[in-house]
Amino acid sequence: MTAANNGASTPEDDDPFGYLYEDGQAAGATPPGQGRGYGYPGPAPQPGVPRTSYNQVRTVGERRQYAQPPQPFPQQQGYGQQPTAAYAAPETYPGGAQTRQGPVVPAQGRGRGPNTRGLLIGAIAVVAVVVIGIGAALMTSGDDKNEAGGSGASSGPTAADSVKPSEEPTEKPEEPVELPKQDAATLKLGGPASAANTVPGAKGTNGGYVMFNGEGGSASWSVEVPEAGPYTMYITYSVPGKDAKTTLTINSGQPREINMANFAHAEEGNWEKGWTNTYSYVNLEKGKNDLKISCEPGNQCEAYLDQVWLEAGQKQG
């Protein structure tokens, strides 16, 4: 069996796609030519005659016109002619909607783009948490090392530790003990010495003073001091316009002379103008000390004794 003679058959058996052409016939298509088939252009089939081809031979350049339904757009022009624009804007048609294009404005608002500020704040917060965690880890590691006896700073109060102040009172330096003045008239008198108050100007109680009255006359007293060491002994007295000398004895020590000069520059014989004072450095023992001023052989004892007192240390008069 050849392609030219395939035997008698029905169009459905000859062309499996023949049913597709029925839609063309239903639409009213009329192919040009000699007959009408199943919507396919060409001669009508004859009983017992096989179809030689599904195509119709035509001259080159020939175009067949088929009936087409009316279309809203203009048809294409023939071969060889310049095509015309097939597109028309909607507003060119009758009743078409008028459109107006404006500048495109970028959308703004929530949900229209990445929140860069929020991302930046989140990143900073993460970094801060990491730094705090590292610092806490280092501090904890240092504390563990010190507790385990590892190398590190020695234990003890630091600037950050609170130190409880001591409740014990701070010892204050001892103030020097003020030794009392002794009125000569109240001292223990020895020998020819005697008390009097006839010459004005004495500082003792009721203006009293002591007269030595020659060799062997004396005035003695006792005093207690808190510490052993140097002291200064002050004496107030009067001389009748001329110098005098007496003797000082401390405990059982070696006696020494005391100079009772006419520092007031009084005229000779003027006892009232002759009141003055002098001082002498002495060394005392801790506790009780016995002192005595006396008129010994070789002394010039023409003097009146007014007051005596001590001060700690060596001081000027």
Largest CA distance in the chain: 200
Q: Which residues pair with 142 in a beta bridge?
A: none
* Res. 151: pLDDT tops 50: no
Q: What integer is the mean pLDDT of 102-106?
A: 50
Q: Model confidence over 71-100: pLDDT tens digits?
A: 555 555 555 555 555 555 555 556 555 555
Residue ranges of E strands in 179-269: 182-183, 188-190, 194-196, 209-211, 218-225, 229-238, 244-250, 256-260
Task: Reply yes or no on whether the pLDDT at 294 is more than 70.
Answer: yes
* Beta-sheet strand order (sheet of 244-250): 188-190, 218-225, 287-294, 244-250, 256-260
Task: Answer for the pair 314, 282: CB distance below 8 angstroms, yes or no.
Answer: no
- What pLDDT is attached to residue 173? 52
Distance, in Å, from the CA atom of 310 to the CA atom of 225, rounded to the nearest integer, reads 9
**pTM for this model (two decimals):** 0.47
pLDDT digits (tens, 9 = 90+) for 238-269: 999 999 999 999 999 999 999 999 999 999 99
Of 38-42, 179-183, 299-303, the range with the highest mean pLDDT is 299-303
